[in-house]
Structure 1
Amino acid sequence: MMILITGGAGFIGSAVVRHIIENTKDSVINVDCLTYAGNVESVASISDHERYHFVQANICDAQVMKETFEKYQPTAVMHLAAESHVDRSIDGPAEFMQTNIMGTFTLLEAARQYWLELKGNKKSNFRFHHISTDEVYGDLEGTHDLFTEETSYAPSSPYSASKASSDHLVRAWNRTYGLPVVVTNCSNNYGPYHFPEKLIPHVILNALDAKSLPVYGDGSQIRDWLYVEDHARALYKVVTEGIVGETYNIGGHNEKKNIEVVETLCNILDDLKPISENPAFSTSSMKSYSELITFVKDRPGHDVRYAIDASKIEKELGWVPEESFDTGIRKTVEWYLNNENWWRRVLSGEYQLQRIGGK
């Protein structure tokens, strides 16, 4: 296969790119405009591979998308390009509407026009795989329910509303035009190469630098955590084996309160990088990283609980996560400890660690 992946220099996208190049015989066209969260160093390990191609472009550019389809003749699209941080969407929603809604529309139209010209097996085998989030379903506060593929949409933030809109567009292009699509909605991802504004890397890096660890509200918000390399395997399963028109929820079976996640990270750091061995604490009397935890005012519209029912993808495609939260979170901390050059270069840019979210 020749798989066109949008957002392939981002956190989840780069994991998908690495998985495909390292574990399959397929080729990849990585289309990424390299915004603040896109980092080509995340795919540096495979950047010289003969089956890897990189196109720096914005999915909102219709002409470039058309030319990219014509040049590379993809057999499938995996659409991951998106603005993805809730806090940023609250501060500046316009960019989220442009990328997540209009960008998806532009890509759908480029894919549709390309698909209409295909013949025989090339046309019948083509897939447009749209990767989305569990946040489109809204909030499970006060229930023991799980999000299923039939859960009604009730997005709470500008980010989740823009992703819900893109989901609806993709399904409409299937219903109206017959474009062969599949959709996935995933829970919170974590793991290597995660941009430092998100909860887990934010806590790790602030802790290592002896900075406060701000937790929204009382930290009781619950998220289901999915190791990013497990997610990459699931996404490849869906694009190669998923049924056209179907939706698959992908979760890690790891519901945790935000405060539990932060405390777990502190405990692992206490074990792997004790404060007594961290020069950032040379003038501090602290004994544990957990002493850095502070509680801050909750963000507007903060959903209390997300939880995914991933039984459909297990039953129909045979996918289950390989990592438990305990194994995955320790691997993640170890990766950040062993890859300081990567995250130091990220932090040296314009972005500063000022906000923290549950997603």
Structure 2
Amino acid sequence: MTEQCKQPEFSGGSVLVTGGAGFIGSHFTKRLLAADDIARVTVLDALTYAGHRANLGEAYLCERFDFVEGNILDAALVDELVARHDAVVHFAAESHVDRSFLQGGTFLATNVLGTHTLLEAARRHAVRRFVHVSTDEVYGPLASGRADEHAPLRPSVPYAASKAASDLVALSACQTYGVPVCVTRSSNNYGPAQHPEKIIPLFVTNLLKGATVPLHGDGGHVRNWLHVADNSAGIELVLRHGTPGEVYNIAGGTDLTNRQLTQLLLNACGAGWDAVTQVPDRPANDRRYAMDWAKIHRLGYRPVVPLEAGLAATVEWYRDHPDRWAPLKRNPRAPLPRVGLRPHPQRQG
């Protein structure tokens, strides 16, 4: 950490959350609104395929919440919003691996140039904190051992490469300009309201419909599964107590092969292996991810949601909310039921 990056711990104020209508961002937004010392939370979201106002649900009941529809590449809008907030927590990103194979330019524009746009505004307006949310995929596959925060970045696919690049852009803003940036890298998240293109909601919603599920390759790929509530807690901890210029791995869930995960989901949905279709592996499907999370553990992070209980509650949510995922199964860009919102005062309509 350079001297110019030093900032006191963040104990209150207003927070801009980019991508806050997405899966992880919406859970984090609602967690932040539950904290009495947070004066205001504003979500900026472009409402692309993964972002929906309905994900924010009860956040609209809070008078300290605002929603702005817009893109992080809109420099004028970003500058206006950052100027009115004390901290930025940056989730907004193109995030689906398979989409990145066909839309690499879009991933670079949003994930790298969008991050740069936010950092420039943060520098101009001297924000107190900037948390850049990233992924374990930037480390690439590990045959053994676990990647700590100093491990080399070896992304395999366009999505992971764009995130690795954005991590470096964010950290360089701290070193060069003194923007108080922290980076978080989490393992695979799961929980309620995740877009059904991801493996757990894809399998659960297919099984609830009586359809088959696709298991790629031999099913031996290993991922660490972390409940979204635990990741949100870790990100808040870094926002409040993280050291600018530092990276924090957020893991501590359960390591599973995709085959083991499939068995758990079949059990939770009351289905058998006849519902599984073996399909060819996708390109560059990393065999194993694994992170060391001792650093954030020392900061006070403790994951608390057991895997089987978390999966059971997740399946129950999808069982109870077909209105939230059925339109997306038919059309990934279909609008979800509208909920009330408070429009940005200068961007009505």
Q: Please give the TM-score of this superposition, normalised by the length of structure 1.
A: 0.87
CA distance in structure 2 between the partners assigned to 1:338 and 1:208 by the alignment: 11
Within 2, Cα distance between the matches of 1:38 and 1:253? Answer: 25
Q: What is the Cα-based RMSD across aligned positions, in Å?
A: 1.3
The 3-state SS of whatever aligns with 1:206 is helix
1:244 is paired with a residue whose SS is coil
Match of 1:173 in 2: 173
What SS does structure 2 have at the residue aligned with 1:108? helix
**Paired residue type of 2:48:** T
Q: 2:125 and 2:37 mapped to 1: Cα distance?
A: 24
Deviation string 1:102-143 (CA, Å, 9 cap, x unpaired) is 11111111111111xxxxxxx6xx0111000000000012x2
- Residue 85 of structure 2 aligns with an amino acid whose one-letter code is P
Pairing partner for 2:121 from 100, 110, 116: 110
Find 2:316's aligned residue among 328, 334, 349: 334
Q: Which residue in the other structure is 1:139 paired with?
A: 141
Residues matched between the structures, number = 321
- Structure 1: distance between partners of 2:265 and 2:285: 22
DSSP-derived class of the 2:61 partner: coil
Q: CA deviation at 1:348?
A: 4.2
3-state SS of the aligned residue for 2:34? helix
Distance 1:215 1:308, change over 3 A: same
**Which amino acid in the other structure matches residue 118 of structure 2?**
L
How far off its partner does 1:17 sit?
A: 0.5
Tell me how far 1:152 sits from its aligned partner: 0.6
Does residue 223 of structure 2 align to residue 210 of structure 1? Answer: no
1:39 aligns with 2:21: no
Structure 2: distance between partners of 1:17 and 1:173? 25
Is the Cα contact below 8 Å between 2:16 and 2:81 reproduced in 1? no
Counterparts of 1:41-190 in structure 2, within 5 Å, are 41-70=54-83, 73-115=84-126, 126-141=128-143, 143=144, 145-190=145-190
C-alpha separation between the residues in 2 aligned to 1:228 and 1:266?
Answer: 21
- Residue 24 of structure 1 and its aligned partner are, at CA, apart by 3.9
Alignment correspondent of 2:289: 306
Q: Equivalent residue of 1:47, what SS?
A: helix
Q: Contact between 2:189 and 2:228, CA under 8 Å: does it hold in 1? A: yes
The answer for the alignment partner of 2:342 in structure 1 is none
Task: Give the whole-Å Cα distance in 2 for the aligned partners of 1:40 and 1:229.
Answer: 19
Give the letter for the 1:63 counterpart: A
Distance 2:154 2:313 in 1: 34
Task: Tell me which moved more, 288-297 or 339-348.
Answer: 339-348
Separation of aligned partners in 1, 2:134 and 2:201: 21
Counterpart for residue 221 of structure 1? 221
Whole-Å separation in 2 of the counterparts to 1:291 and 1:82: 36
Query: What is the aligned partner in structure 1 of residue 14 from structure 2?
Result: 2
* Partners of 2:332 and 2:265 in 1: CA distance: 26
What is the identity percentage for the equivalent residue pairs of Structure 1 and Structure 2? 42
Does the 8 A contact of 1:207 with 1:289 survive in 2? no
- Structure 2 counterpart of 1:119: none
How many angstroms does 1:69 deviate by? 2.1
Residue type at the aligned position of 2:16: L
Q: Secondary structure at the match of 1:132?
A: strand
In 2, the alpha carbon distance for the partners of 1:264 and 1:131 equals 28
Q: Distance in 2 between matches of 1:182 and 1:350?
A: 32
Change in Cα spacing, 1:310 to 1:209, as seen in structure 2 (3 Å) is same
Does the Cα contact within 8 Å between 2:215 and 2:277 map onto a contact in 1? Answer: yes
Q: Describe how 1:13-24 pairs up with structure 2 within 5 A.
A: 13-24=25-36
Unaligned runs of 5+ in 1: 116-122, 271-287, 353-359
Asked whether 1:320 is paired with 2:302, we answer yes
Residue type of the alignment partner of 2:197:
E
2:43 is aligned with 1:30: yes
